């Protein structure tokens, strides 16, 4: 690992941190240390970092703003690549936008709506980055990323950079091909439509206000924990099981929205996992429905229920 760190620093790929607590990089404020955390200064820095990681044979994974992510209390072995500053460019040309994978989604929705471009209003209030939104096919209010993504620029571990058409991203409910193959979305091109700025901004703001009123963002949380087992809704099933407010350790099923688990008192990943397991058991017992998590679980000794 020492040789890897030395090479990364000599190559000036960006910021390199050792034993960095991932609780500082996730919206749940949960997670042990990454052996190495890199914030690439730009795409070239990311490519160079990836080349060194491959050369040294070290495991890696990429994150954005750390939403929809549960990191083990034991941390993550190897390298965590965090796409943020330096990977957050934005270019607007007519009805197309080209945006870096590290661009914050909430900020993007606000900026683009104020320019009178429609198509991203559904994402008003969704935390996370553009790269994460493509990875998860983020969505709300009956719309999602698959409906507006024209192309995704993907960096593969062997250094290849490829533009993948939206039609080839294998999008489904909260999934994409990136969940089945190793690749990082470093840029996205979204196809939007011009419209009345006041109407677009009002629609976007309505969605943001709805999330603020119905979801518990006053405490650290990751977003929705379970996928909706359609036609049922996860939050309703959990509420009907009488689990609103149920607490294990420092983690609690939100009293505002039952598909959210909030960190109310220095919760550990193990607290969250035990809550997830308990909710799955209760709903299976009561309804015969197998609940699946939407949140991604990573790290040492992290056992998915």
Domain assignment of residue 38, yes or no: yes
Q: What is the mean pLDDT of residues 218-242?
A: 94
In a domain, 221, yes or no: no
Select which of 224, 254, 270, 296 is catalytic: 224
Q: Let me know if 174 is a catalytic residue.
A: yes
| CATH number of the domain where residue 67 is located | 3.30.43.10
pLDDT score, position 305: 47
CATH number reported for the structural domain that contains residue 270 in this entry:
3.90.78.10
Catalytic-role residue among 23, 48, 118, 174: 174
Distance (Å) of CA 203 to CA 120, 138, 148 = 10, 18, 17
Give residue 303's pLDDT band: very low, low, confident or very high (50, 70, 90): low
Catalytic residue, candidates 20, 39, 48, 294: 294
The whole-angstrom separation of Cα 207 and Cα 87 is 26
pLDDT in tens, 71-112: 999 999 999 999 999 999 999 999 999 999 999 999 999 999
pLDDT digits (tens, 9 = 90+) for 259-269: 999 999 999 99
Q: 223 lies in a domain?
A: no
Q: Could you tell me if residue 48 is inside a domain? A: yes
Q: Give a yes or no: residue 263 inside a domain.
A: yes
94 and 171 together in one domain = yes
Domain that holds residue 45: 2-82
Does residue 251 sit within a domain?
yes
Q: What is the pLDDT of residue 302?
A: 73
pLDDT tens figures, 41-79: 999 999 999 999 999 999 999 999 999 999 999 999 999
The structural domain count of the chain equals: 3
pTM of the model: 0.91
Note whether 30 and 136 are same-domain residues. Answer: no
Binning the chain into helix, strand and coil, the percentages to the nearest 5 are 30, 30, 40
Q: Shortest CA distance to 82 belongs to which of 52, 54, 46, 33? A: 46
């Amino acid at each position: 690992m020492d040789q890897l760190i030395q090479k990364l620093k000599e190559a000036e790929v960006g910021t390199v941190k050792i034993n960095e607590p991932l609780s500082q990089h996730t919206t749940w404020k949960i997670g042990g240390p990454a052996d190495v955390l890199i914030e690439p200064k730009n795409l070239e820095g990311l490519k160079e970092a990836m080349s060194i990681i491959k050369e040294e044979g070290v495991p890696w994974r990429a994150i954005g703003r750390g939403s929809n992510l549960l990191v083990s209390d034991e941390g993550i072995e190897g390298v965590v690549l965090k796409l943020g500053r330096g990977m957050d460019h934005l270019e607007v040309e007519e009805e197309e936008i080209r945006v870096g994978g590290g661009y914050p989604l909430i900020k993007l929705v606000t900026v683009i709506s104020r320019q009178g471009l429609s198509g991203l209003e559904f994402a008003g209030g969704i935390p996370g980055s553009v790269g994460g939104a493509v990875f998860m096919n983020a969505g709300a209010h009956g719309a999602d990323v698959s409906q507006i993504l024209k192309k995704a620029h993907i960096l593969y571990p062997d250094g290849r950079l490829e533009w993948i058409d939206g039609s080839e991203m294998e999008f489904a409910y909260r999934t994409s091909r990136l969940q089945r193959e190793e690749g990082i979305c470093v840029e996205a091109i979204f196809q939007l439509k011009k419209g009345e700025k006041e109407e677009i901004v009002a629609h976007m703001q309505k969605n943001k206000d709805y999330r603020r009123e119905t979801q518990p963002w006053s405490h650290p949380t990751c977003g929705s924990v379970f996928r909706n087992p359609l036609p049922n809704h996860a939050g309703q099933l959990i509420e009907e099981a009488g689990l609103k407010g149920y607490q294990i350790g420092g983690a609690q099923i939100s009293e505002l929205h039952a598909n959210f688990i909030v960190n109310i008192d220095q919760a550990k990943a193990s607290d969250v996992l035990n809550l997830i397991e308990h909710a799955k058991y209760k709903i299976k017992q009561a309804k015969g429905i197998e609940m699946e998590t939407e949140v991604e679980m990573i790290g040492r000794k992290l056992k998915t229920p």
